[in-house]
């Protein structure tokens, strides 16, 4: 029996009862003979509440202090969980990200893990303890400051520790029974998958399925760590995410379409009246990159012949909207565009599936479904295994439901269960 890393998300430890329930589950795993490392998120919506609080004090807080504040959430849950386990008669020790050896770069609020040196975790395990690690945080290699890994970052902590400790599996416990063909909060008839390949999960995660964080899946693929996504509220087997389908009595096949994802966390910026000559787009995106902002979709309109001016639109996380508008305003002296438009009432819908490469007609069916649902499309982007569109935010729900049905993904059995969480 090997080492297991288990990660419990905020909804699984939302209150004292949740913490005690999770503690029992951890103890059961230990009793089954495993060494157990647990990564825990902040309780319920604690992180959002801390962010709201910071905004009331300072609209653009310093990254270092913001990270210091946010890591407090995970510290609360790790200590309470260790106490609950001890109360069940088992030994547990809690560790901050820094104590657990999670070393990052120094980009506050979205630091990247560059090394994991889990010496103290190894020692704790060797001494027979259950190790509890605060998710979503680390310490910067150069300045030794406390950093956070970006929203949902506990998933990445879990996989990084699983890789560093050579764990058998990384179990991600959440408030739904696994990875579904769409967000069960939006599509009641979403179907749970038994298995999904890393490649498809990466696309789902990067296009908004927050059940797993994109970076965590990337990390798991690089180190070939199988992930088991499952509910902490039920005993049901969840979804395996790995390179190859597990060999069971019933072989699992790769579906043509894996699922439909959506994302309402992005905004759209349009740079209006950009001179249509070489170098202008480069200057715009250099200004955005220098502000350390990641962008997603980009479109440039055909320029009006009469004026020689064009519009360039791109999407980015809403949380970066303010910074991006400032960076572009500063760049206006160089680029000489007319104006900037900011729109945060957008949503993105994506269809993901490896079978897209070889099955003609997928794109046509996708657009027909949107058209039948009366949804207007503002931007389009594609990859080999994904099609994404941007629409008005109010159209997202009907669009996801329409596309899900059009590809025959609706389940005819049980409705997907959402056990907890607020969906925030
Ligand atoms: P945790 O607090 O456990 O990290 P999250 O809220 O980050 O949980 O992720 C779980 C949520 O992800 C679910 O409650 C569900 O609403 C959402 N979700 C989005 N897309 C999917 C999907 N394809 N399958 C399952 N859940 C999804
Ligand atoms: N508590 C952090 C968040 O809400 C990290 C996590 O839950 O993964 O984003
Ligand atoms: Mg999460």
The predicted-structure confidence for 140-194, as pLDDT tens digits, reads as follows 999 999 999 999 999 999 999 999 999 999 999 999 999 999 999 999 999 999 9
Q: What is the pLDDT, as a whole number, of residue 297?
A: 93
Give the residue, out of 38, 152, 176, 189, with the most ligand 1 atoms within 8 A of its beta carbon, to mutate for a pocket test. Answer: 176
Q: What is the pLDDT, as a whole number, of residue 29?
A: 97
Report which of residues 371 and 305 the model is more confident about: 371
Cα 176 to ligand 1 centroid, rounded to whole Å: 7
Ligand 1: residue whose CA is nearest its atom 9: 211
Which residues does 148 contact at the CB level (< 8 Å), separation at least 6? 67, 70, 71, 108, 109, 110, 111, 136, 137, 138
256 pLDDT band (50/70/90 cuts)?
confident
| Segment 385-403, tens digit of pLDDT | 999 999 999 999 999 999 9
Cα 421 to ligand 1 centroid, rounded to whole Å: 9
* Dist. CA 60–CA 109, nearest whole Å: 12
* Dist. CA 288–CA 292, nearest whole Å: 7
Instruction: Give the least confident one: 13-22, 241-250, 316-325.
Output: 241-250
> Does residue 249 surpass a pLDDT of 70?
no
204 Cα nearest atom in ligand 1: 23
Which residues does 59 contact at the CB level (< 8 Å), separation at least 6? none
Residue pair 269/313 in contact (Cβ under 8 Å)? The answer is yes
* Dist. CA 306–CA 214, nearest whole Å: 44
State the average pLDDT for the chain: 94
Q: What is the pLDDT, as a whole number, of residue 250?
A: 61
Q: What is the pLDDT, as a whole number, of residue 269?
A: 97
12 Cα nearest atom in ligand 1: 3
Residue pair 104/68 in contact (Cβ under 8 Å)? The answer is no
* Dist. CA 294–CA 21, nearest whole Å: 38
| Segment 103-116, tens digit of pLDDT | 999 999 999 999 99
> Does residue 5 surpass a pLDDT of 90?
yes
Cα 120 to ligand 1 centroid, rounded to whole Å: 31
Ligand 2: residue whose CA is nearest its atom 4: 47
| Residue 8 CB–ligand 2 contact under 6 Å | no
Q: How many CB atoms lie within 10 A of CB 60?
A: 11
User: Which residue, 235, 233, 240, is CA-closest to 22?
Assistant: 233
Looking at all shown ligands, the one closest to residue 12's CA atom is 1
Length in residues, the chain: 424
Ligand 1: residue whose CA is nearest its atom 15: 183
Q: What is the pLDDT, as a whole number, of residue 137?
A: 98
Cα 306 to ligand 1 centroid, rounded to whole Å: 49
Q: What angle is formed at CA 395 by the lines to CA 213 and CA 399, rounded to 5 degrees?
A: 70
| Residue 135 CB–ligand 2 contact under 6 Å | yes
Residues 274-287 have a mean pLDDT of 91
Beta strand ranges found along 301-376 (DSSP E): 309-317, 339-343, 346-352
Q: How many CB atoms lie within 10 A of CB 279?
A: 11
Pairing of strands 298-300, 309-317: antiparallel
Q: What is the pLDDT, as a whole number, of residue 239?
A: 97
Instruction: Give the least confident one: 207-211, 251-255, 257-261.
Output: 251-255
* Dist. CA 294–CA 214, nearest whole Å: 14
* Dist. CA 330–CA 324, nearest whole Å: 10
Q: What is the pLDDT, as a whole number, of residue 251?
A: 57
> Does residue 245 surpass a pLDDT of 60?
yes
Residues 254-281 have a mean pLDDT of 92
* Dist. CA 111–CA 109, nearest whole Å: 6
Looking at all shown ligands, the one closest to residue 172's CA atom is 1
| Residue 97 CB–ligand 2 contact under 6 Å | no
149 Cα nearest atom in ligand 2: 5
pTM: 0.93
Q: What is the pLDDT, as a whole number, of residue 43?
A: 98
Cα 22 versus chain centre, distance: 22
* Dist. CA 308–CA 304, nearest whole Å: 6
User: Which residue, 183, 223, 141, is CA-closest to 350?
Assistant: 183
> Does residue 255 surpass a pLDDT of 80?
no
């Amino acid at each position: 029996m090997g080492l297991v890393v288990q990660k419990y998300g905020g909804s699984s430890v939302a209150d004292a009862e949740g913490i005690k329930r999770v503690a029992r589950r951890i103890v059961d795993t230990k009793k089954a003979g495993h060494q157990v490392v647990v990564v825990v998120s902040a309780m319920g919506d604690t992180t959002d509440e801390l962010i709201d609080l910071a905004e009331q004090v300072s609209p653009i807080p310093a990254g270092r202090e913001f990270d210091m504040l946010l890591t407090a959430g995970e510290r609360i849950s790790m200590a309470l969980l260790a106490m609950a386990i001890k109360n069940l008669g088992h030994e547990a020790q809690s560790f901050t990200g820094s104590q657990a050896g999670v070393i990052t770069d120094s980009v506050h609020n979205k630091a990247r893990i560059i090394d994991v040196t889990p010496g103290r975790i190894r020692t704790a395990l060797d001494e027979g303890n259950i190790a509890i690690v605060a998710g979503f945080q680390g310490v910067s290699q150069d300045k030794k400051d406390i950093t956070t890994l970006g929203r949902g970052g506990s998933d990445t902590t879990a996989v990084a520790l699983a890789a560093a400790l050579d764990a058998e599996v990384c179990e991600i416990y959440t408030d739904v029974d696994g990875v579904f063909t769409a967000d069960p909060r939006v599509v009641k008839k979403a179907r749970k998958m038994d298995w999904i390949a890393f490649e498809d999960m990466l696309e789902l995660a990067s296009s908004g399925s927050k059940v797993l964080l994109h970076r965590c899946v990337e990390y798991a693929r690089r180190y070939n760590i199988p992930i088991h996504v499952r509910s902490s509220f039920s005993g049901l087997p969840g979804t395996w995410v790995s390179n190859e389908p597990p060999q069971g009595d019933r072989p699992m096949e790769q579906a043509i379409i894996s699922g439909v994802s959506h994302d309402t966390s992005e905004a759209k910026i349009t740079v209006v009246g950009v001179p249509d000559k070489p170098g202008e787009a480069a200057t715009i995106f250099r200004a955005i990159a220098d502000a350390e902002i990641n962008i997603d979709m980009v479109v440039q309109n055909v320029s009006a012949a009469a004026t020689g001016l064009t519009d360039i639109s791109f999407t980015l996380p809403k949380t970066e909207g303010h910074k991006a508008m400032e960076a572009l305003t500063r760049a206006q002296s160089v680029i000489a565009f007319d104006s900037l438009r900011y729109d945060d009432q957008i949503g993105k819908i994506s269809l993901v599936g490896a079978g897209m490469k070889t099955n003609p007609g997928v794109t046509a069916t996708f657009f027909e479904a949107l058209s039948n649902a009366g949804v207007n499309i503002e931007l389009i982007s594609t990859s080999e295994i994904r099609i994404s569109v941007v629409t008005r935010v109010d159209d997202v729900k009907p669009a996801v439901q329409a596309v899900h049905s059009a590809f025959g993904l609706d389940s005819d059995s049980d409705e997907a269960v959402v056990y907890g969480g607020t969906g925030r």
